Amino acid sequence: MKSMSLMSMTGRGTGVAAGRLARVEAELSSVNRKQLDVNVGLPGFLASFESRVQARIQARLSRGRVTGEIRVTWAEAARASGARVDLGLARSAVSALRAAAKKLGLPDDLKASALLSLPGIVAFEHGGKDIEALGPVVDQALDAALSGLCAMRRKEGAALG
């Protein structure tokens, strides 16, 4: 009788790939779960890649809770478009914060750096970048992370068996 090797559902894998626009890092981990449940965080500008990432993971795994993150570091040439400040929103936020401080009897010590933490005030432009061109780089990083994850799951499964 042929022996089947056990595969654990617990594992971890990382992958890195670089293209002309950016360096992409993918980090995945999985734990025991009867069905496949995938939750991978993507930067907002890669939201359109969510189904692509899900499908790639589903092609390699059928069980476990898989969590992870994909990070992008832009190459110097791709960073040239810089940041955009929403001055209207910033003015509105400053006015509202100063009014709130006054009503609460707090000192008016608002600094420009505090505006950086407010959502929507500063946005980093990706408009000049071809986001779709990142697809193959995301795939490479994700495939490397999946390979590492699967290798760890096989190794742990062999230790259990």
For residues 70 and 15, membership in a common domain is answered with yes
Structure token pair of residue 158:
């062999």
Q: With respect to residue 17, please indicate whether it lies within any of the assigned structural domains.
A: yes
For residues 50 and 24, membership in a common domain is answered with yes
For residues 103 and 135, membership in a common domain is answered with no
For residues 36 and 95, membership in a common domain is answered with no
For residues 99 and 48, membership in a common domain is answered with no
pLDDT tens figures, 5-21: 667 778 999 999 998 88
Q: With respect to residue 101, please indicate whether it lies within any of the assigned structural domains.
A: yes
Structural domain including 24 reads 11-80+129-160
User: Does the reported pTM lie above 0.85?
Assistant: no
Domain tally for the chain?
Answer: 2
pLDDT tens figures, 60-93: 999 999 999 999 998 876 665 566 788 999 899 9
For Cα atoms 61, 63, 69, give the angle at the middle one, nearest 5 degrees.
65
Q: Which residue has the tokens 């969510």?
A: 50
Q: With respect to residue 120, please indicate whether it lies within any of the assigned structural domains.
A: no
